[in-house]
């Protein structure tokens, strides 16, 4: 499991060690790890052109010391000093190693000399702003960030890309986009959560010894071993009822595809039995595509009372937002089993949030627009502060929240927010959210908590998408939502297969 921490948590842990170790020890560890990572990112160090964008403070010091180490190995190193001050020890070390200095302190803008250096660099280190930076970058940092993002060489962030809030992932203005982020001690929360995560590139952590002094994490990402340990698996005495019966209320005469996809996600994720309840046309479509499902045509007046016993419900995809859909959604949410609410079901809950006040566990799976409607804020506000609003929704609504997007978050009151690390940009296509709802519903019915069901579903959804898209070995191809459902068995097989060799 990958854990992540705020800037304050990292600094507190660092202070414990700083008080016990000789002066400069932590910076030496960080600079050495950074230089090693940079050397690995280059075809060769000797003769390479390295540019350091160094701000003031310890982040600039890490950058300058790492530059000195690279210079000693034969790199041609130029440091651009952009802060109001420079780290004197790092600056002296770089000069002794033969590095050259371009001092911008007091200059209103970088100028053509910097542009030329950046354009010719084989490797550029972004050491402008460290983990304490918040808000928009000021000049000359903002201009330098733009130059760094467009640099033709390998761009490496020192601890955090400048312009990214290390504690939240928020980006207030210009921010550097890098190929590699070398972070010290532990991952920072903002490196895992968009919009900041989209600036990070490959994330590499350098151990500087602070691990034992870190608190319980506020953010975590499950790995393959974690998900493997949580996934429901049938045993020798399992039957379809012990494996979990999930009920799905989805689709309408107008929107039938969502029903087929949600049921498909549940079937392919391993549900013991799927009970599907809806209007006549989606029932016909589900019968044709998924004969395994037990189907029933229902009316808003009767609701789901006579559908049969289930261990969890999925409600919402494609069911519409009119009064009849509202009545049907209420009948599901009045039940005493876990309920996953998705898509149109979330729009209905935004109309009357009392639908979510229930004794049984509730999982909601919104995208930014749906969460914004539930909380009364704009889509842009949710996208800019994803972590904040996922936590707020979990606390305020009393539910578990799976916030979909380029980085999917799972938030539950009193628990670390989980960040999903699987997936592919090809998932940004219609219907994939319906498949995700079915997967999570199957895991709820199998007995996982909302927190674990949401986390495992997001992970497996992303893994199945990679399987469907073809994976990195041969490149990726466009996928449709049904491809994700069909890719689930292979994704599960790959995840749970014993390691070889």
Residue 126 marked ligand-binding:
yes
What percentage of the chain reaches a pLDDT higher than 70?
A: 98
Tokens, residue 163: 């312009």
Cα–Cα distance, 422 to 433 (Å, whole number):
15
Cα–Cα distance, 223 to 225 (Å, whole number):
6
pLDDT band at 326 (very low <50, low <70, confident <90, very high): very high
* CA neighbor of 30 nearest in space, from 48, 10, 1: 10
Residue 159 marked ligand-binding:
yes
Residue 462 marked ligand-binding:
no
Q: Which CATH fold would you assign to the domain 244-496?
A: 3.40.1190
- The string of pLDDT tens digits covering residues 77-92 is 999 999 888 999 999 9
Omega of the bond prior to 140 within 30 degrees of 0, cis?
A: yes
Cα–Cα distance, 311 to 211 (Å, whole number):
41
Residue 347 marked ligand-binding:
no
Omega of the bond prior to 195 within 30 degrees of 0, cis?
A: yes
Residue 497 marked ligand-binding:
no
- The string of pLDDT tens digits covering residues 25-83 is 999 999 999 999 999 999 999 999 999 999 988 999 999 999 999 999 999 999 999 98
Select 2-221's CATH number: 3.40.50.720, 2.170.270.10, 3.40.50.10260, 1.10.15.40: 3.40.50.10260
Residue 406 marked ligand-binding:
yes
- The string of pLDDT tens digits covering residues 14-27 is 999 999 999 999 99
**What is the arithmetic mean of pLDDT over 165-169?**
96
Tokens, residue 340: 């996953």
**Per DSSP, what are the bridge partners of residue 155?**
124
Residue 173 marked ligand-binding:
no
| Whole-Å CA distances, 368 to 166, 347, 416 | 21, 12, 20
Cα–Cα distance, 193 to 419 (Å, whole number):
7
Tokens, residue 244: 């979990």
Contacts of 140 (CB under 8 A, 6+ apart): 82, 104, 107, 108, 109, 110
Residue 74 marked ligand-binding:
no
Residue 141 marked ligand-binding:
yes
Q: How many CA atoms lie within 13 A of 455 on its CB side?
A: 26
Burial 9-22 (b: 16+ CB within 10 A, else e): bbeebbeebbeeee
Outline where 139-223 has alpha helix (H). 141-149
Residue 398 marked ligand-binding:
no
Residue 367 marked ligand-binding:
yes
**What does DSSP say about strands 409-411 and 400-403: parallel, antiparallel, or unpaired?**
antiparallel
* CA neighbor of 459 nearest in space, from 429, 486, 495: 495
SS3 199: helix
Residue 68 marked ligand-binding:
no
* pLDDT value, residue 320: 96
Of 15-24, 387-396, 442-451, the range with the lowest mean pLDDT is: 15-24
| Whole-Å CA distances, 243 to 15, 239, 299, 492 | 50, 6, 28, 16
Residue 89 marked ligand-binding:
no
Contacts of 298 (CB under 8 A, 6+ apart): 249, 277, 278, 279, 304, 306, 307, 328
Residue 135 marked ligand-binding:
yes
Q: Which backbone phi and psi does 354 adopt, to 5 degrees? A: -65, -20
* pLDDT value, residue 399: 98
Residue 258 marked ligand-binding:
yes
**What is the arithmetic mean of pLDDT over 202-213?**
96
- The string of pLDDT tens digits covering residues 337-369 is 999 999 999 999 999 999 999 999 999 999 999
Within 10 angstroms of residue 86's Cβ, the number of other Cβ atoms is: 23
Residue 47 marked ligand-binding:
no
Residue 407 marked ligand-binding:
yes
Inform me whether the pLDDT recorded for 501 exceeds 50: no
Domain boundaries, the chain: 2-221, 244-496
Q: Are 118 and 125 in contact (CB under 8 A)?
A: no
**What is the arithmetic mean of pLDDT over 2-12?**
97
Q: Which backbone phi and psi does 102 adopt, to 5 degrees? A: -120, 110
């Amino acid at each position: 499991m990958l854990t992540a921490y705020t800037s304050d948590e990292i600094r507190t842990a660092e202070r414990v060690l700083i008080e016990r170790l000789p002066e400069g020890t932590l910076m030496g560890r960080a600079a050495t790890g950074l230089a090693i990572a940079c050397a690995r990112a280059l075809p060769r160090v000797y003769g390479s052109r390295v540019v350091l964008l160094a701000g003031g403070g310890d982040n600039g010091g890490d950058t300058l010391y790492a530059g000195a180490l690279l210079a000693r190995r034969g790199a041609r190193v130029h440091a651009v000093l952009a802060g109001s001050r420079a780290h004197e020890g790092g600056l002296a070390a770089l000069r002794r190693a033969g590095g050259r200095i371009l001092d911008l302190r007091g200059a209103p803008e970088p100028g053509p000399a910097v542009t030329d250096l950046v354009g010719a660099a084989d490797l550029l280190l972004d050491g402008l702003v460290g983990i304490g930076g918040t808000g928009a970058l000021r000049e000359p940092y903002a201009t330098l960030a733009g130059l760094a993002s467009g640099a033709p060489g390998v761009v490496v962030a020192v601890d955090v890309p400048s312009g990214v809030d290390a504690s939240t992932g928020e980006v207030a203005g210009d921010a550097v986009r890098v190929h590699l982020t070398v972070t010290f001690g532990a991952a920072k929360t903002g490196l895992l959560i968009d919009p900041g995560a989209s600036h990070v590139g490959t994330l590499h952590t350098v151990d500087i010894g602070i691990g034992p002094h870190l608190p319980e994490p506020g953010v975590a990402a499950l790995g393959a071993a974690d998900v493997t340990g949580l996934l429901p698996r049938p045993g020798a005495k399992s039957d379809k009822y012990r494996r979990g019966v999930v009920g799905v209320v989805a689709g309408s005469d107008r929107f039938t595809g969502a029903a087929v996809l949600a049921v498909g996600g549940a079937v392919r994720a391993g549900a013991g039995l799927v009970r599907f309840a809806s209007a006549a046309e989606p029932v016909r479509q589900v019968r044709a595509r998924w004969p395994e499902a037990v189907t029933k045509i229902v009316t808003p007046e009767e609701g789901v009372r006579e559908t049969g016993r289930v261990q969890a419900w999925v409600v919402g995809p494609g069911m519409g937002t009119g009064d009849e859909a509202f009545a049907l959604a209420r009948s599901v949410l009045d039940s005493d089993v876990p309920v996953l609410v998705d898509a149109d079901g979330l729009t209905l809950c935004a109309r009357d949030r009392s639908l979510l006040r229930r004794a049984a566990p509730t999982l909601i799976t919104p995208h930014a627009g749906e969460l914004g409607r539930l909380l009364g804020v704009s889509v842009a506000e949710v996208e800019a502060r994803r972590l904040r609003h996922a936590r707020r929704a979990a606390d305020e609504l009393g539910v578990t929240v799976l916030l979909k997007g380029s980085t999917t978050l799972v938030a539950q009151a009193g628990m670390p927010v989980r960040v999903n690390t699987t997936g592919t940009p090809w998932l940004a296509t219609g219907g994939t959210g319906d498949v995700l709802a079915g997967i999570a519903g199957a895991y709820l019915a199998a007995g996982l908590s909302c927190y674990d069901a949401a986390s495992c579903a997001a992970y497996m959804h992303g893994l199945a998408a990679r399987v469907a898209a073809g994976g990195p070995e041969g490149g990726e191809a466009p996928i449709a939502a049904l491809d994700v459902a069909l890719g689930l068995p292979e994704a599960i097989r790959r995840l749970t297969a014993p390691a070889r060799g």
